[in-house]
Structure 1
Amino acid sequence: MNLNYLELITISILYLTYFILWKIKEVTQIKKTGIDPNVIVKSESNLQKYVGLQFKILSFFFLIAMIFNSIHFELFGLFTRWNLIDNNIFKVIGFIVGMFGLSICLYAQIKMGNSWRVGIDEKNKTKLITTGLYSIIRNPTYLGLFLLNVGFWIIIPTVTIFTLNIIFIYTLEIQVRCEEDYLEKTQGEEYLKYKKKTKRYIPFIY
């Protein structure tokens, strides 16, 4: 078994940091407000339930794929690596990209404060945050998660990780549009004005 310990270490740190960030935010917000921010799993909307389930399935398959990739397991070419970037230099680059993504997620969590949610909270109206990074993009958390997944792929450049990234982006686009529709209904003109002057993920581009 040909193990790359740098690969295992970088992947493990990124995955554990992601899990710890989300769990700490969830626990502290419940203690502070009595409200569980992870509302997507309790939604009455079938679409929200689907998206929530999809994210869980993706997280599971990302973990399984990274384990199989790290031990160089092979199955019908699904774990074949792109040799051009399959080296330790790019693994460090991937780690930096992933940590940068997690830093954006942490910033977004702090900036959102008690308004931070995973999913659409139809029971408790939240404050619209429009300052800081939110003044130029509407979804810093999703940008951070995208960069985290790109980091995973740079570290383990296989067809499997790339495909999971595409599915993740597709699921993300569904969720973002659900959230935008909801905010238009609940925040009204304030959100419409905010939406006009900002981008979804990438400043000045998209």
Structure 2
Amino acid sequence: MNLYQISLLLLISIFYLTYIAKQILLKRRGIDGTRLARGNKPRGTFLIEALLLAGTYGMAAVQYASILLDERLGLLFPQDWIRIVGAAAVFLGVCFFVTAVIIMRDSWRAGVEEDQNTRIVTAGVYRISRNPAFVGFDLMYLGTALAFSNLAAILGAAFVILLLHLQILQEEKLLPGIFGQEYLDYCKRTRRYL
């Protein structure tokens, strides 16, 4: 394994370990941080969340396989500059995600329900994006697709990025009812992505 592979293995591991650690910390505080495909939700929302859950786990497997097998899986874009841009996107994605998770504190949830006990967060990275954790996911998946441009990484990234967008749209339907005018004002001054 070369330095490139080791660096990306470390970055992607930091990403997923951050997610797991956040869930463990929330659970210790009595907070169920994972609401994806659980609870009483409209069928369309449930389906999107179930596909997103499966896609996220699938992409983690694709990412690790892509790193460990690298060029043996075949690179559709073998140019060094594309691979470097991909690695930079993974790095930025991890930074966005970790920052978002830290700033959200106890209000972090994967999936939204109307009866959740959270507060709206608009500070830090949430000043430039209403969904910085999703931006982190998108950048990480896009970066992996460029860094290890095998067919599974490219198709998986496209699929999960689409599902993340659909998840955001589902959440945006519920959030005005949860946070009211404060959320609507936040939407006026802060973009969905960047």
TM-score computed with the length of structure 2 as normaliser:
0.85
Which runs of no fewer than 5 residues in structure 2 stay unpaired?
Answer: none
When structure 1 is superposed on structure 2, of 119-128 and 46-55 the one drifting more is 46-55
Question: How has the CA–CA distance of structure 1 residues 40 and 60 changed in structure 2, closer, same or farther, with 3 Å as cutoff?
Answer: closer
**AA matched with 1:9:** I
Shift of 1:81: 1.9
5+ residue gaps, structure 1: 74-78
State the structure with more CA Rg.
Answer: 1
- Does structure 1 conserve the Cα–Cα contact (< 8 Å) formed by 2:37 and 2:46? yes
In structure 2, what residue type is equivalent to 1:70?
D
In structure 2, relative to structure 1, the CA distance for the partners of 1:65 and 1:108 (3 Å cut) is closer
Q: Which residue of 2 aligns with 1:104?
A: 96
Task: Return the letter of the residue paired with 1:15.
Answer: I
Q: Is the 8 A contact 1:48 1:119 kept in 2?
A: no
TM-score where L is the length of structure 1 = 0.80
Is structure 2 residue 76 aligned with structure 1 residue 81?
yes
Contact kept in structure 2, 1:105 and 1:145, CA below 8 Å: yes
> Larger deviation: 178-187 or 50-59?
50-59
Q: Secondary structure at the match of 2:72?
A: coil
Q: How many residues are aligned here?
A: 190
- Structure 2: distance between partners of 1:163 and 1:138: 26
Instruction: Report percent identity of matched pairs.
Output: 23
The aligned residue for residue 112 of structure 2 is: 120
2:192 to 191, 196, 200: 200
Give the Cα separation in 1 of the matches to 2:129 and 2:57. Answer: 29
What is the identity, as a one-letter code, of the residue corresponding to 1:31?
A: R
Match of 2:31 among 24, 32, 35: 35
Q: Output the CA distance in 2 between the equivalents of 1:70 and 1:63.
A: 15
Shift in CA distance, 27/111, structure 1 to aligned 2, threshold 3 Å? same
Q: Deviations over 1:25-72 (max 9, x none)?
A: 11112212x011111142321334323322232234324444265262
Q: Which has the higher helix share?
A: 2
CA drift at 1:188: 1.8
Question: Does structure 2 retain, via aligned residues, the 8 Å contact 1:62–1:164?
Answer: yes
How far 1:6 sits from its partner (Å)? 4.0
Q: Does 1:44 align with 2:36?
A: no
Cα drift, residue 121 of structure 1: 3.1
The one-letter code of the counterpart of 2:72 is: H
1:145 has 2:137 as partner: yes
Q: What CA deviation, in whole Å up to 9, does each residue of 1:76-128 have, x standing for no partner?
A: xxx55223x2x3x6545433321221111111111111111100033323111
What CA distance in whole angstroms lies between the structure 2 residues aligned with 1:29 and 1:112? 11
Quote the Cα distance in structure 1 between the aligned partners of 2:91 and 2:2: 18
Mapped contact 2:114–2:178 kept (Cα < 8 A): no
Structure-2 change in CA distance of 1:122 and 1:171 (3 Å): same
